[in-house]
Amino acid sequence: QVDLVESGGGSVETGGSLRLSCAASGRIFSTYAMGWFRQAPGKEYDFVATLSASGSDPNYADSVKGRFTISRDNAKNTMSLQMTGLKPEDTAIYYCAARPPWYGDRRDDPNSYAYWGQGTQVTVSS
């Protein structure tokens, strides 16, 4: 079992930056791949970024590539998403999620992630 808690959301203007954090409980955090997803009102979950258990091999959605950076600190059981150059279309609730190796192997598919945080709102105004 892994409990995830996101923080760092807020409201910014176009071009602004935010840093989201995800704090995880559980000693096996370092064995799970982690990801960020987002959900805009009335839409399904969209993949944002993912990172392997070791912190290597970051992967990003095309829509955020070059603007967002995912990272993790296994010693502190935390994961972050640095967001720059924010656009109104980035407005959504952002979720961190954990993907155990036994649960799913598609890193961009929310169905491959077993544990989810409660989400944090990001609003970008034009």
Mean of the per-residue pLDDT values of the chain = 95
Q: What is the pLDDT of residue 17?
A: 98
What are the pLDDT digits (tens) for 35-60?
999 999 999 999 999 999 999 899 99
What are the pLDDT digits (tens) for 76-107?
999 999 999 999 999 999 999 999 988 988 99
What are the pLDDT digits (tens) for 10-40?
999 999 999 999 999 977 888 999 999 999 9
Cβ pair 74, 28 in contact under 8 A: no
Amino acid occupying residue 50 = T
Cβ pair 39, 46 in contact under 8 A: yes
Distance CA 25, CA 22 (A): 10
Torsion-angle region of residue 57: left (phi > 0), alpha (psi -120 to 50) or beta?
A: left
Which residues are registered as beta bridge partners of 11?
Answer: 123
